[in-house]
A and B are shown apart, each in its own frame.
Chain A
Amino acid sequence: MSIFVDDDTRVVVQGITGGEGKFHAGQMIEYGTNVVAGAVPGKGGQEVAGVPVYDTVDEAVEAEDADASVVFVPPAFAGDAIFEALDTDLDLAVAITEGIPTQDMAKVNKRLSETDTRLLGPNCPGIITPGEAKLGILPGNIFADGNVGLVSRSGTLTYQVVDNLTERGIGQTTAIGIGGDPIIGTSFIDALEAFEADTETDAVVMCGEIGGEDEEQAARFIGEHMDTPVAGFIAGRTAPPGKRMGHAGAIVSGSGTGTAQSKIDALNDAGVPVGDTPEEVADHVEDFL
């Protein structure tokens, strides 16, 4: 079992003719993902990474029966690309693009609330169900099939934690990067809810970071609705207020909301052990299993 993607997922890559899109489409296919088409305006009829390219997502879905998309479109056009995915009624759209203006995402967010499509990201590494499918840029070789679910706001931090788990022989059901932007589609709670419902996920790792209140809300959700044990990690304990720490969403406000301590406290209150180091997170997971 897994959540959101598996070997039946049929993927269209938006922006497949660009450098990133082309490279990662190839990597996804190599991993075994069912990439069935690309979509790039003006490039219909071409073939990239062995799959046909269409001018619109609509055409690609029509012709190749795709049900998910991965967006590798530059920030200025990415909002539009996500709208196109949402308006095509896909099951899942994964937006990798970093640097989409927040006001564009506010409009996307409004449209998202009117559709049944799940959006992952933007500014995320994507999602992987080891051995079945990966949609995004995650390095497939560090993951292993197993029974731990992982949800994180950051890419490389995810890799670090997964590496610690895999090294100990602990594999993953599905690993999800939800993205480091202030406005994102799938939230921690959405992912946690799905892991809770997944019969093969025996433990969950949640990696949060400073900024916003998603981690606090997730902590309340864990306390009230989850039986599956969760181990946590929060990045940004040493971040000064008012400074954007790389991710557009990783900022402690001047009033002191969004601090690492508030998130750690909330998780601890919900019975979630929070590691001081990535190694400690792996220790907690090992204890659960």
Chain B
Amino acid sequence: MSAHDEILEPRPQGVLARFRAFREKRPHLFLLVLMMLVAFFMMDPRTWVVLTISGLAMGAMVFLMASGMTLTFGLMNVLNLAHGAFISLGAFAGATVLVHWLNASAGESSLLANLAAVVPALGFALAVAGLVGLLFERLVIRPVYGDHLKQILVTVGGSIILMEMIHVIWGPNEIPVPRPDALTGAFLLPESWPVIGGVALEKYRLIAVILGLAVYGMMTWVIEHTRTGILIRAGVEDQEMVEVHGYRIRLLFLGVFVAGSALAGLGGAMWAMYREIITAHMGDELMISVIVVIILGGLGSIKGCFYGAVLVGLINLYVGYLEPRLAAVATVGLMVGVLMWRPQGLIPVIKV
């Protein structure tokens, strides 16, 4: 629609008209800039920089968790409320590698030894969550395609079972996950820099931001430039047309579901190292952020999901700094506000 519309519509004249056009055409950027500006004037610049980076880090991790769910919904109209259980599963799988299997190398202080523990941990989390996702799709979700009510019921039931299995395997107590040495600590910005000199940036948060951006980049590349991506986009747009052309959309969906679960597991493992303590119910708590993100972004949209995650991360940190008790309320308030403004979400893809 974009190119076509721009030709037809005259370029907006005047500052106010341009502002209005910007607000309507790019609501995600408008909201992001607005939020950062408001926060900027409410605190001192150094705090603002630290909070913004932390918010981006949180957003990146939430994006990892949410992207799978939004695609699952967009592609097959399946609402998977057990997504939170996959987050927990990934966290526990990653923790097992770090705490039990490779704790010698995780405990050392050299970067290489640490990476030799962290990378397998993330890989294992990815693999376990993906594998369980495969089973889950086959056993639990497949029989209830096209029936939202049953999907909600069945996935809630599936979520209970997965959570209880985590209890059975790893025990009911919370598990501490010490972050490897090389990932703790912070970079200090040089004092000579204007305004933000001397600000300490936590290494792990920077890594999370980079990883999140990398996954986002890769995902956009896959979706926009590969054949699979074209099929996924086409499937989101019109599932039946894809089937008519002879593609097995079930298989495509299975792939997306497994990838989404695996990413949720990866996000969970990242979150485990970020918080350094995990419980089986962490997935339920994160699920709220995930849901807010996918509603904010517009169900089925990867780009919307990314911006939604960043917005949620930022508002969490900003409000958490100004009034810690209201962080969760502000997150949901953001969602309510956006829904009143744009009932379809920021970047709607499918018509709901």
Real binding pair: no
Residues of A that sit less than 8 Å from B by CB: none
